[in-house]
Amino acid sequence: MGRAKKSYAEVALEMYESVQQSNDKERKLKSSVFWHEFRVKKRTTQVVERIGRILIEQKLTVSVKSGDLFGKEKDDDRIILTLWPPQSEIIASVSPIFPPIEWFNEMKTREFESEREVEYYFIMPLLEKLGYEYDDIAIGYPVIMFEGVHKTKKQVDIALFNGPSRKNEDALLVIEGKEGDKGITVDHIGQAKSYAQELLPACYVITNGRQIIVFQFNGMLYQNERVMDFDRSMLYEMWKDLYKYISKKAAIDRKLWLKGLLQKSSTLAVGEHQPI
């Protein structure tokens, strides 16, 4: 009796495990071998699209050594599989700068009576210590969104950019401030996420001045990651991680990486929808 035919998902899982176990978290396969693993004899648009989607779901990124579109490369070309996301490299590249201990003590004792006070007396001082400057900050930044088929204009509480440019390619952070006496809800998180999907920042943050929640935005290619969720009383203890996620330098580094990922995904998508 012959071996049972593996599903595409099972083959993708095996590839993920082999990449995970490799020292450099990468696997290079000859194109003919790659497609043989999936038992693909003819690379139709539907098949290439399906396998590409399954690899993405398995958190693998795909590139072709020659630069050809995935699915259109020659049999002797190399397909390169890498883990997504390689966050350790990004986080490790930023060394935190600590404000004086007196600043942390002052931030711990502040009281906020409104959402506006949270923005001006907590978020703004925080951004200054994280390396942002006047030109980077856009308060009440307008975004056009669709609710069903209707276009509507919303405002991001605070959007951070790399300098005076207000282009999406320079968007670094989205921050939503909430009243200090109210808890952060799923709706609040969803609101910040919807703004992130319009501006494509490195991260988005929700805070009521007591609780600070940080999500890494993953370009709508993968599920966004809640990487921090802590109380303001722990600001000093959590500063190192906070700085490595949302400081200006960290956000710029991750935004550059995210741009590359989106470009690679776009190239893959074009290849999937090209006629064979």
Segments in the chain below pLDDT 70: 1-4, 84-93, 222, 264-276
Topology (CATH) of 91-259: tt1808, chain A (3.90.1570)
**No. of H helices and E strands in the chain?**
10, 9
Would you report the helix, strand and coil content of the chain in percent, each value rounded to 5? 45, 25, 30
Q: Where in the chain is the domain with CATH 3.30.56?
A: 8-84
| Cα dist from 274 to 50, 229, 268, whole Å | 14, 43, 10
Q: Which residues does 142 contact at the CB level (< 8 Å), separation at least 6?
A: 153, 154, 155, 156
Q: Where in the chain is the domain with CATH 3.90.1570.30?
A: 91-259
- Write down the pLDDT at residue 274: 45
pTM: 0.68
- Write down the pLDDT at residue 86: 52
Specify the residue for token string 């996301």.
85
CATH code at 8-84: 3.30.56
Q: Distance between CA 180 and CA 199 in Å, rounded? A: 26
- Write down the pLDDT at residue 181: 80
What token pair was written down for 183?
A: 């808890």
